[in-house]
Amino acid sequence: MNPSVDALRAQFGPAIGRAAVVCGDTIAYVDAGRSADVLRWLKETPGQQYNYLVDITAVEYRDPERPIELVYELFSLERHAQLRIKAELAKDRLEVDSVVPLWAGANWLEREVYDMFGISFRGHPDLRRILMWETYAEGYPLRKDFPLRGRFSRAEQVRQALGGATEAHYSMEELSVAESYHELPEDVRQRLTRGKPGPVPDEPEPGAEAEKP
Amino acid sequence: MGLNQPIERAPAVQAVASMSPNWVTTRLDFLVNWARSNSLWPMPFGTACCAIEFMATAASRFDIARFGAERMAYSPRQADVLLCAGRLPFKLAPVIRRIYDQMTQPKWVISMGACASSGGIFDNYAMVQGIDTVVPVDVYVPGCPPRPEGLLYGILLLQKKVRGETIADPTLRVERPLDGDGLRLPPAMVDELSEPFGNSIHQTRSA
């Protein structure tokens, strides 16, 4: 058993549920309402330092009464220690605090969990579908009540796929770069004009230009 | 009765003895199709393992250049053959449709592999069940993935098809946009084409 579990119990008390070791990996269940606090503590406390968020995913079990488990896989690069944190979410309240403020890399991971399971993350800066297109209307594909072939007929699926504007896959910010070209900072505009990456060299002054033979 | 005699057909290319030896006569169809069929520039639309097999076909051992198709056109405007190598998710359906629309006539489509042709093992919510529900297909190459010989045979079949065309038939080159429903085929036909078959019919656990 990873000693971090005892440290968690000492710090958070009843917010920490059962814990187990499975295949050599320590799993600790935490209260979903406190999960963001627990993860922040695990990341920032000296001696814990779980600074690498390996993955966020979720599990739904076949038993309809059983809650959906949200899984955070943590790793400490300093201490080479692993810890898996699970939070149980009732199916009628699939909501949890986002950890994007802690790990910027959680952004796409949480979007994927939202896309596939329908769990919404409070405070996520950009919670959109990431694998399916944004206008996808058939539900959350990895849920157990989702039919393998989707809910719509194949013709309807093809029609929606072909009819949905390809541009709908991008956010307004991503699309607005071209339209708001004139609003971009001067150096960015220069770079886009020349089609070169990296900083743009200073323009030679008119006087310096004239001195050249 | 002459039935055993071979049918008299004018040879495709004739040297005319009465004229200078630098002159030959031929049928225009033959000349055009000869040129088209021996320089099929593929637009590789590789999405999966079939694309690896396609790369092997293009490389020196199998050498797609023997059939004049070695020049990959990474711009649809310079391509003759859209070669869909791999599965096509619904999210990519508008992409391949736009690429097909951007290609200039004459254009053909090869559907390489089981997934592109029928959805293959991916009979699920995310996958187009055969790219013929999105773009018209000329040659289907079966296999999972097809061996390079299979793809070469598909290209030879396409060459054969091209040689059978005639420029006198304008309907061959008509652009057919999506209909009012936004589909290429009637909805009932799309449903029928997408019906599960084979082992796939047993995969309805959650349905």
pLDDT category of residue A112 using cuts at 50, 70 and 90 = very high
Scanning the structure block, which residue is given the tokens 């896989």?
A73
According to DSSP, residue B89 is labeled B
- 3 state SS of A118: coil
Q: Best residue in A157, A166, A170 to probe B by mutation, most B CBs within 10 Å?
A: A157
The CA distance from B142 to A79, in Å, is 52
The CA distance from B84 to A154, in Å, is 20
The CA distance from A172 to A176, in Å, is 6
Chain B CA closest to residue A169: B91
Asked whether the beta carbons of residue B125 and residue A138 sit closer than 8 angstroms, the reply is yes
Q: Best residue in A142, A145, A154 to probe B by mutation, most B CBs within 10 Å?
A: A154
Residue B106 has pLDDT above 50, yes or no: yes
Asked whether the beta carbons of residue A149 and residue B125 sit closer than 8 angstroms, the reply is yes
Report which of A87, A76, A92, A107 is spatially closest to residue A35, judged by C-alpha positions. A87
Across B84-94, average pLDDT: 91
| Inter-CA distances, A105 with A73, A108, A110, A191, B192, Å | 13, 7, 9, 28, 43
Lowest mean pLDDT among B51-55, B117-121, B194-198: B194-198
Tell me the angle at which helices B93-102 and A154-163 cross, rounded to the nearest 10 degrees.
60
Residue B42 has pLDDT above 90, yes or no: yes
Across A139-159, average pLDDT: 88
A and B: number of Cβ contacts within 8 A: 77
pLDDT category of residue B123 using cuts at 50, 70 and 90 = confident
Q: Where are the alpha helices (DSSP H) in B83-147?
A: 93-102, 114-118
For B113: left if phi > 0, alpha if psi spans -120 to 50, otherwise beta; the answer is left
Residue A133, beta-bridge partner list: none
Q: Best residue in A136, A138, A142, A158 to probe B by mutation, most B CBs within 10 Å?
A: A158
Give the tens place of pLDDT for each residue, B174-202.
888 888 778 888 888 888 888 877 665 66
Q: Which two tokens stand for residue A84?
A: 């898996």
Residues of B in Cβ contact (< 8 Å) with A148: 123-125, 203-207
Chain A CA closest to residue B185: A155
DSSP notation for A140-182: -TTSTTS-TT-SS-HHHHHHHHHHS-GGGGS-HHHHHHHHTGG
| Sequence ranges of the domains in chain B | 42-194
* Residue A48 burial class via C-beta count within 10 angstroms: exposed 0-12, middle 13-18, buried 19 and up: buried
- 3 state SS of B127: strand
Residue of higher predicted confidence among B204 and B21: B21
The CA distance from B153 to A25, in Å, is 52
List the domains of chain A with CATH numbers.
Answer: 4-131 (3.30.460.80)
According to DSSP, residue A56 is labeled E
pLDDT for the residue numbered B121: 84
The CA distance from A127 to A171, in Å, is 11
Cα B148-B151-B156 angle, rounded to 5 deg: 125
Give the tens place of pLDDT for each residue, A55-88.
999 999 988 889 999 999 999 998 899 999 999 9
Query: Least CB-CB distance to B94: which of A141, A147, A164?
Result: A164
Residue of higher predicted confidence among B2 and B49: B49
List A residues 115-154 in contact with B (Cβ-Cβ < 8 A).
Answer: 132-133, 138, 141, 144-150, 153-154
Fold topology of B42-194: Rossmann fold (3.40.50)
Residue of higher predicted confidence among A211 and A29: A29
Cβ-contact B55, B90 below 8 angstroms: no
In residues, how long is chain A? 213
Give the tens place of pLDDT for each residue, A159-177.
888 876 665 555 555 655 5
Report which of B90, B175, A97 is spatially closest to residue A85, judged by C-alpha positions. A97
Q: Where are the alpha helices (DSSP H) in chain A?
A: 4-12, 35-44, 106-117, 154-163, 172-179, 186-194, 206-211
The pTM score is 0.78
In sequence order, what E strands does A61-103 have? 68-76, 81-89, 95-97
Residues of B in Cβ contact (< 8 Å) with A132: 91, 126
Residue of higher predicted confidence among B19 and A123: A123
